[in-house]
Amino acid sequence: MIGRKKKNNQNLQFNAERVFLAATQPLKLAYSYFQTTKYGLTDDEVKERQQLYGKNEVIHEQKKRPVIVFCKAFINPFIGVLTALVVISLVIDVWMAEPGEQEWTGIIIIFSMVICSAVLRFWQEWKAGEATSALMKMVKNSCSVKRIGIADKEEIDITQLVPGDIVYLAAGDMIPADIRIIASKDLFISQSSLTGESEPIEKYPEAKDNKFRKGSVVELDNICYMGSTVISGSAKGIVFQTGINTYLGTIAKSITGVRAQTAFDKGVSKVSILLIRFMLVMVPFVFLINGVTKGDWFSAFIFAVSVAVGLTPEMLPMIISANLSKGAVAMSKKKTIVKNLNAIQNFGAMNILCTDKTGTLTCDNIVLEKYINADGSSDEKKRILRHAYFNSYFQTGLKNLMDKAILSHVKELQMEHLKDSYKKVDEIPFDFIRRRMSVVIEDNQQKRQIITKGAMEEVLTICSYAEFDGTVHRMTDEIKQKAITISEQMNKEGMRVLAVAQKSFIEKEHDFAVGDETEMVLIGYLAFLDPPKTSAANAIRQLHEHGVEVKVLSGDNEAIVKTIGRQVGINTSHSLTGMDIEKMTDDELKEHLPDTTLFSKLTPLQKTRIILLLQEQDNTVGFLGDGINDAAALRQSDVGISQ
């Protein structure tokens, strides 16, 4: 979706202190702090709070009435000049003319050009608005709420929520407001729409690790934000912020308001002003010369008006509107909605395209890139893959993106039949403290083994041995360092690494626990990557051929951004991180912008700052992104393109 965007540098004003206070309340005091009860609110309390806080909806641009859209189609400097000439011609050639000598031809021609231009613009923009509205109407959200007087939970529209409501969450639900979790079971939340991070995170009733410092509100373990999605598990929570006061609401506030002029608007205005100035010089000059030489001042005035008409390109507004409309129609055939016709011209004039990475350049779908032995050699026998597959297949907890990548890869290799020779005995679920999970399986000969998969450092802490070339060796500091070096090298290539370990000949039959994850044998590693889209490299090559520079603005780490940049054909020799940018003044950052093509670990406001500074260097800047975290950058750019 392409639209004309406002240039502003507005900061988000979010009441972080209120969120920290909500997160730090002990569970036993939570109900009283939020002025509610474990049974919810009464009807009177709900009505009172609805009047106090309003509906639970974020600020958004209201749909304009057709009359307003039509009138705005006439707000154009060229249209203004032509309208003034029509009025003057109407007065002179019709009202002041003698009966039978009235001249309507010029008036009709100019007026027709004005109407045609405005109607074309109105029709295209109204159709785009209707298409956008139709998409928004397709989304209806409700939530499960407990209130006093209701025997059980009830489903209500999320706009009716108020602070103090008791909300129940389940897999697949969208978080309807900012919520403090008071009870949960294996709750995993995706905050990708807010942060751009695709990996789900676990939420608990009590926050872990004392994450109560400013700047980390999205990391709070017991707070769920409006717009996030429940991936798995269930929870019960108390609403503490709704509507414009939510984290999502603060982002929405920064992207609403009056839209400023784009590069195209300014160009049209400059040409119009130039013509007006030229007329202001020529028309009086012609009027005076003609009046003095001929002595007929009325005829001189008529001639001067004729000169003004001759200097004005009456067809230009209609030609512009017709061509922009043609472009919008052509793009609609490629499933692209153009919300503002002037964006077409900005799209063509764009010389820098800034783009997000995840889901834009990449597939937003992690794949298993490689699996290798503990010594770094290739797993030709696919032993590491088999163990990883058993671990991912037999677990009953959350199957994250990496588990899905393993299962998908095994399916592609048609190795799924391997599981038929094993049965699951038990499992030790994943948690974010251990950062690993284990399954216990048994083969047809009743031989049991534990297979563990998890973060490199955490798996190494439970490994007493490592296997090289079929031989098991006692774990040493040298072997550990080699494993860490292999992991770091793959991290530098933009891959996420997991370690795989196993322990065979288990005599224990049931009730396995974390204490059984000892004396493990490190057998290998798995490397994952979110690959670039197949069309990305070709699209960037064509942009370069057309003189458009591409810059990547991502919230991901520098290694991954550089890897993806190399794969799609972007120069990776100059890059900056969000921490680098934070230390720079605007003038210092401007000096780096022309050569820098990769920006990593950026916040939404840093993306907006980069685009603003590029615009100040006389660039027409486009931004390609998807997700709420890109909304401010989409708004700031001359051309915002969302998928």
Token pair 């439970």: residue? 462
- With left for phi above 0 and alpha for psi between -120 and 50, is residue 200 left, alpha or beta? beta
Token pair for 450: 């534990």
Residues 566-586 as b or e (16 or more Cβ within 10 Å = b)? ebbbbebeebbbbebbeeeee
Token pair for 359: 């889901």
Which residues, 6 or more positions from 555, have their beta carbon under 8 angstroms from its beta carbon? Answer: 195, 196, 197, 358, 578, 600, 601, 602, 603, 629
φ/ψ of residue 260, rounded to 5: -85, 170
Which of 178, 356, 379, 516 is labelled catalytic?
Answer: 356
Name the β-bridge partners of 180.
223, 238
Contact 295, 101 (CB under 8 A): no
φ/ψ of residue 137, rounded to 5: -70, -20
The H or E element spanning position 320 is: helix 316-332
626 catalytic per annotation: no
Contact 54, 249 (CB under 8 A): no
Name the β-bridge partners of 472.
467
- With left for phi above 0 and alpha for psi between -120 and 50, is residue 149 left, alpha or beta? left
Q: Secondary structure of 405-427 in the HEC alphabet?
A: HHHHHHHHCCCHHHHHHEEEEEE
Token pair for 29: 């005091």
3-state percent breakdown (helix, strand, coil) of the chain, nearest 5: 45, 20, 35
No. of helices (H) and no. of strands (E), the chain:
22, 22
- With left for phi above 0 and alpha for psi between -120 and 50, is residue 359 left, alpha or beta? left
- With left for phi above 0 and alpha for psi between -120 and 50, is residue 158 left, alpha or beta? alpha
DSSP 545-612: HTT-EEEEE-SS-HHHHHHHHHHHT---SSEEEHHHHHTS-HHHHHHHTTT--EEES--HHHHHHHHH
Contact 466, 486 (CB under 8 A): no
Question: Which residues are marked as active site?
Answer: 356
